[in-house]
Amino acid sequence: MAKVLHTGDTHIGFRQYGLEERREDFAQAFLQVVQLALDEKVSAVIHAGDLFEDRTPGAEDLLATLQGLFTLKDAGIYFLGIVGNHEQRRGTQWLDLFEELGLAVHLRPDQPFELEGIPIYGLDFSGRREITPPTCLEGVLVCHQLLDAVEPEGELALEQLARCGARIVLMGDYHEYREWRERQDSRETLITYCGSTERWALDETAQRGVNIIDLKSGRLDRRRLKTRDFLYIRADEDPMQRLETTDVRGAVVVVYLESSQWTIAEIEKLGYERGALAVRVRDLRESSVQKVEPSIEIEFGDVEHAVTEALSRKNLSPLAREIDQIIRDLKIADSNVDQEVTALLERAWRAKP
């Protein structure tokens, strides 16, 4: 059984609301996917693009990514991926670097990767224009684009994918789980978005998860991810009462406000007093002139000791440990950390036999 884990839109490095905690959440969601792949005993993790939030991930996020990729490699699980619009660079892609290090496979439209006899094609993000999918000889196609079924101006149509020749099409870019079974000339094509692994936008209210797919039978099962709590308070609710009666410690609170009975400042103040990580108010009042003024409180503890203790329990690769040493070397200015890590990775790439 060729069982794979389909994920995408991990957006590692996204410092949502300017919070370090949220950046860590996105990295931990990726590592949770890696652990799930081990637990499910899949043959491969197929990533449908937007591994990173942008084209210049920070050193901490590269470290978390490498930790996950080395874990998969040690377990004999392939990491197959394509490039999304967020991380896409001119020239060499991060996925190319990981491929040269033996940690990943950059899927191509004309040179399929064979997994247990099944060809797997990949199409990197190709812009916000109408595109033609590659012709596939059975197997699987991985894309990072919007479909007309989820966005009227989407670049691809379900009908196109049903005719491209692939039996299964694994999509990224749209952040919610969707599944279609399209029939064309008596054959069925499974087309699915796995959704993002963390809530990248406030309106992404559904539970986050990944797809577990048997490539031979086409069976798809969902697996949930444990992510930070988001509390949504509807416009017809009393936000103050809801905050008073709900445990919001560590949660992101999203309030939809239509009434002028409360001010945004009052709602935010109570939310933070109750222990919320972040309070976001969607002001739906027609004549509102109020602005959301986020307030962030950060407490610093013995971070160095905690990190050292945590890493001592991790079986990190030599490369990952070198990156960690760069990050925590006080002689290296913060502004130079990313440059030093990039140079290290380039040296490792060139030294690869």
pLDDT value at residue 317: 65
- Give the mean model confidence (pLDDT) for residues 163-171: 96
Residue 254 banded pLDDT, cuts 50, 70, 90:
very high
pLDDT value at residue 329: 53
Cα distance between residue 30 and residue 79, in whole Å = 12
Residue 119: closest CA among 127, 111, 130: 111
> Which of 3-7, 19-23, 234-238, 295-299 comes out lowest in average pLDDT?
295-299
Whether the predicted pLDDT of 347 surpasses 70: no
**The pTM is what?**
0.81
- Helix or strand or coil: residue 134? coil
- Residue 130: HSE in the Cβ half-sphere, 13 Å Cα cutoff: 5
- Give the mean model confidence (pLDDT) for residues 322-342: 66
Residue 47: closest CA among 90, 79, 91: 79
Does residue 11 have an active-site annotation?
no
Cα distance between residue 99 and residue 205, in whole Å = 34
pLDDT value at residue 318: 63
The answer for residues whose C-beta is within 8 angstroms of residue 320's C-beta and 6 or more apart is 63, 66, 67, 70
> Which of 187-196, 283-292, 296-305 comes out lowest in average pLDDT?
296-305
The pLDDT tens digits for 260-277 are 999 999 999 999 999 999
Among candidate residues 6, 11, 47, 86, the one labeled active-site is 86
The pLDDT tens digits for 105-126 are 999 999 999 999 999 999 999 9
The pLDDT tens digits for 188-239 are 999 999 999 999 999 999 999 999 999 999 999 999 999 999 999 999 999 9
Q: Domains, the chain, ranges and CATH?
A: 3-224 (3.60.21.10), 230-283 (no CATH), 303-351 (no CATH)
Residue 316 banded pLDDT, cuts 50, 70, 90:
low
pLDDT value at residue 311: 53
First to last CA, the chain: 33
